[in-house]
Structure 1
């Protein structure tokens, strides 16, 4: 499903040039649950940003479902991000003025379904994460774990091919973190492809495969 070949990402030029990714090649198959690990500056977030079509490589190739990505225009990349990719962020990225349901249905504004269909689909996604009873509440009326569940429901609403989770438990306490990871495991069991960035070993243990990065280089790729 995801394949990068000889990927490089450089920032700056001349003496200030920094190589964030250095000749990285990875293949992730449909239905996998992969954790990308590494310390700050290892390149793990840069790799996820490229895989999630939020950034483009300096050099190398990227194929999503066998479709070449790197030469696409911004409009085409936006469509891919909206229709084929779901994002879960450490800081939730919810709009504070909107209810949980309104946040979840936000990606559907760019589709051709009716407002009523969007509402029903949003409620179904909230039910899937156990929060349909909080549909009318705003983010400041919910706990961190509930807000992350809303973010997961939003990531699922367009039925994406792959879910990218960037430090999904980074702002949560230990108990809530493991509840969120159990939910991600349930989604994986239902057939979702999940790619997660984390620096926490106990969180990475929930995945089925760990890719370790250091100084922009892939140093380990192991199945567990």
Structure 2
């Protein structure tokens, strides 16, 4: 599913140069649930941005579903993000004026999907995350956990190859975090590939595998025990 070979990412130059990633090599298989951990400045967010095609490496190779991402133009990268990748963010990134349903179907606006079909698919995704009854509610009318479920439904609506979750429980209380992680685990059991950034050990423990980073390098890659 994902293969990176000796990727590095450098920002700035001269005295202000920052080596955010240093020769990272790893593989993530289809239907894996992987957590990427590290302190602030470890490179975990930069790695997720590169894997999610939000950023490009300064050097090295990145293959997504067997396709090299190197030298791909911005328009093609945008299509890859829309068709193959789903994103879940810590701060939800929902549009406040739109209902849950219309937030979910936003990615379909950039695809050749008729409105009726988009709304039908959106309704199915909201049902999948247990929010059918909230489809016409706006974000301010929902709890944090419900908003994150809407964000998960939005990430799923294009049937992505992989979901990237950036601190998906960072703004949630313990009980709601437990519910969201159980939902992600259920999606994984249904065949979804998930790559999650977190700084919390108890959240990382839900994954099959934990990749640990420090100073832009992978320092550990271990399977989680049941």
Q: If the length of structure 1 is used for normalisation, what is the TM-score? A: 0.99
- In 2, the alpha carbon distance for the partners of 1:38 and 1:151 equals 24
* 1:197 partnered with 2:186: no
Question: How far is the alpha carbon of 1:70 from its aligned partner?
Answer: 2.0
- Distance in 1 (alpha carbons) for counterparts of 2:126 and 2:112: 21
Map of 2:68 onto structure 1: 68
| Structure 1 residue runs without a partner (length 5+) | none
Listed one character per residue, the Cα deviations across residues 13-72 of structure 1 (whole Å, up to 9, x for unaligned) are 001101000110010000000000000000000000000000000111000011000210
Q: 1:113 offset after TM fit, Å?
A: 2.1
Aligned runs of 1:46-195 on 2, under 5 Å?
46-195=46-195
- Name the CA distance, whole Å, in 2 between partners of 1:110 and 1:25: 32
- Residue 112 of structure 1 and its aligned partner are, at CA, apart by 1.7
Q: Give me the whole-angstrom Cα distance separating, in 1, the residues matched to 2:171 and 2:110.
A: 30
Question: Structure 2: where are the runs of 5+ without partners?
Answer: none
Mapped to 2, the partners of 1:10 and 1:178 lie a distance apart of: 36
Report the alpha carbon displacement of residue 114 of structure 1 after superposing the two structures with TM. Answer: 1.5
- Bigger mean CA deviation after superposition, 111-120 or 60-69: 111-120
User: The residue matched to 1:118 in structure 2 has which SS?
Assistant: helix
Secondary structure (helix, strand or coil) at the match of 2:105 reads helix
- SS of 1:77's partner is helix
CA distance in 1, matches of 2:70, 2:137: 40
The aligned length equals 224
- Pairwise CA RMSD: 0.5
Describe the superposition over 1:161-206 as per-residue Cα deviations: whole angstroms up to 9, x where unpaired: 0000000000000110010000000000000000000000000000
Deviant stretches of 4+, over 6 Å: none
Deviation at 1:151, TM superposition (A): 0.1
Q: For residues 47 and 114 of structure 1, what CA distance do their matches in structure 2 show?
A: 35
Matched position secondary structure for 1:34: strand
**What corresponds to 1:45 in structure 2?**
45
How far did 1:97 drift? 0.6
